[in-house]
Amino acid sequence: MTSSQAMLAGDEITITPTELVAGGAAMARVDGFPIFATNVYPGDVVVVRLLEVKKGFAHADLVRLIEPSPFRRAMPCPVANECGGCDWTALRLDRQLEAKQRILTESLRRIGKIDPATLPPIVIHPSPLNYRLRSRLHRGGGKAGFYAMRTNDVVQLPPECEVVGLRTREEPRDGETWEVDGKLVTEGGMIIDGYHVTTDAFFQVNRHLLATMRKLVMKLANRVSGVGGRESEPIAAPAFSDPRPPSPDSRKTAIDLYSGVGFFSRPLAEIFERVTAVEGAEAAHECAKQNVPDNVTLVHAPVEWWVERMPRADFVFLDPPRSGARRNVIDAIATRAKEMVCFLACDPVTFARDASRLIASGWRLASLDLLDLFPNTHHVETLASFERAQ
């Protein structure tokens, strides 16, 4: 009888996980049978309760910690084991980054079928805590905070929370709340990092890494545009009637897919003659009208529809949702991008799938940056560049 046949949902067993995997769970093997457990970390000796047992694996949850892992830190948050706002709070911050790097590498190996030995070095960009520009809190039972893990029970946001901004944890409110320049905004418009944003439009959540993301993308774009030295300069407000002209010797173009409020379109417009920014969400598209200069063509359409008529461009940037880009989007980019594809991905599994499609279409993975946009959680943000294979 195999271990899986002997195990039943509800059983309690003792395990020692060896690694963290995509999705945030820790994996242990019992006689070769994988068990994925939450609220535990590599090196822990724990008793877990099996939640479900399937043919090839089981899911479990923590019952009792017998011996803590040396990778744990003193619990900074009194509700960390129940709150759904983050799932790796008890793990040392350096080990969080190591785990995310391994998750990215393993996703590219397992899903993308990419030999880890062929990968470019992964550059890691850590983030300070209390990073959230916006938080969606809930109210229930006289409490205001995040939902508990796997339920809609509200867990009171504690003063020690390391995820939300300092003002938010002092003044938790129900619903979507943005924290900008020390003030809480629940509706309407605001200026964030020089950009007009409304509360119903998408904007990157980590306040600390906005400039880092922009600088990294511009450094890559400059290799294509031929305009050097701009990536470290501050991005000025757009001059609508007199946009900054492109370099006299540059006639190159860029496309920004899933362009949002124009966070990347605007700096790209400083070094490319023409930028086309494509966004399907109306709120973000309307914000972009106030954020970008005249040499940016704004297209309000689903990316999946627009790419069927996508022109050729020297530089293509995309920042798709967590589900990744659809196959026709990757196929269009692979065919119509001339020099470089720059990909900002918020899920390592779907990124690995999309990366493998680009590579199979004649592109090579040239650079990898890991941005820790969500400390204390398992989420991995990847910035990658692809160049034409020789």
Per residue in 152-180, pLDDT (tens digit) is 899 999 999 999 999 998 999 889 999 99
Q: How open is the CA angle 224-225-229, to the nearest 5 degrees? A: 105
Residue 189 sits in the same domain as residue 214: no
Residue 187 sits in the same domain as residue 317: no
Has residue 384 got a pLDDT over 90? yes
Let me know if 287 is a catalytic residue: no
Backbone angles phi, psi at 271, to 5 degrees: -125, -5
Q: Are 300 and 276 in contact (CB under 8 A)?
A: no
pLDDT band at 228; cut points 50, 70, 90: low
The residue whose two tokens read 């006639």 is 251
Residue range of the domain that includes 333: 100-127+207-388
The Cα–Cα gap between 288 and 282 comes to: 10
Domain final position from 67, 86, 114: 67
pLDDT band at 268; cut points 50, 70, 90: very high
Per residue in 57-103, pLDDT (tens digit) is 999 999 999 999 999 998 789 998 889 999 999 999 999 999 999 99
Structurally, the chain folds into a number of domains equal to 3
Q: How far from each other are the two terminal CA atoms of the chain, in whole angstroms? A: 53
CATH of the domain at 343: 3.40.50.150
Residue 189 sits in the same domain as residue 226: no
Query: Under DSSP, is residue 291 helix (H, G, I), strand (E, B) or coil?
Result: helix
pLDDT at 150: 80
Backbone angles phi, psi at 111, to 5 degrees: -90, -45
Residue 274 sits in the same domain as residue 380: yes
Distance, C-alpha 351 to centroid of its chain = 10
**Helical H runs in 146-260?**
166-170, 210-225
Name the DSSP letter for residue 117. Answer: G
From the candidates 77, 86, 161, 346, which is the catalytic residue?
346
List the structure tokens of 130.
């209390």
Q: Quote the pTM value.
A: 0.90
Per residue in 314-351, pLDDT (tens digit) is 999 999 999 999 999 999 999 999 999 999 999 999 99
Residue 77 placed within a domain: no
Per residue in 77-90, pLDDT (tens digit) is 999 888 999 999 99
Q: Are 37 and 68 in contact (CB under 8 A)?
A: no
Residue 177 sits in the same domain as residue 248: no
